[in-house]
Amino acid sequence: MLNDREAGTQFKVWDMQDLDAIPFWNKGRAILIGDAAHAMTPMQGQGGNMAIEDAKAFTLFGPEVTANEVPDILSKIDSIRRPRTKVVLESTRQTMPNTKMADRVERMDFINSYNGIRRALDELETANRLEVAASKM
């Protein structure tokens, strides 16, 4: 046990670490979420928020979901969540004291405008339908 006088002299220093974006989070009926999938430094305080958004995505599992549907639902979660967290991670990496306020505000608009997994899936499906329709023209 350190006494009060020694306590102020015992310091340890370590680098903050993050995790590069990984190519996928899910395999079969398993998925990574939170820091296991997208660890980031606390520069914007977004790590915990991303984990909460990941957890909210599990609302796609209603009581009617069967075991056979789980891999497809996890793939949908991955297809929405992974690109979003990649952008947030890059924004976090770029946040430094000399970053211009306009750049910070632009990134914060993306970070704070997430409307949930269901809306993101609807937007993705709409974009896919428009792409298919445009390819038939």
For 11-45, the pLDDT digits (tens) are 565 666 788 889 999 999 999 999 999 998 877 88
Place of tokens 């949930």: 116
Q: Say if 7 falls within a structural domain.
A: no
Q: Please determine, for residue 97, whether its predicted confidence score (pLDDT) is greater than 90.
A: no
**Total of domains in the chain:** 1
Q: Domain containing 79: what range?
A: 16-135
Q: Say if 9 falls within a structural domain.
A: no
Other Cβ atoms within 10 Å of 75 Cβ, number:
15
Q: Say if 8 falls within a structural domain.
A: no
Distance of CA 57 to the CA centre of its chain: 11
Of 23 and 107, the structure prediction assigns the larger pLDDT to 23
Q: Say if 3 falls within a structural domain.
A: no
Q: Say if 5 falls within a structural domain.
A: no
Q: Please determine, for residue 3, whether its predicted confidence score (pLDDT) is greater than 90.
A: no
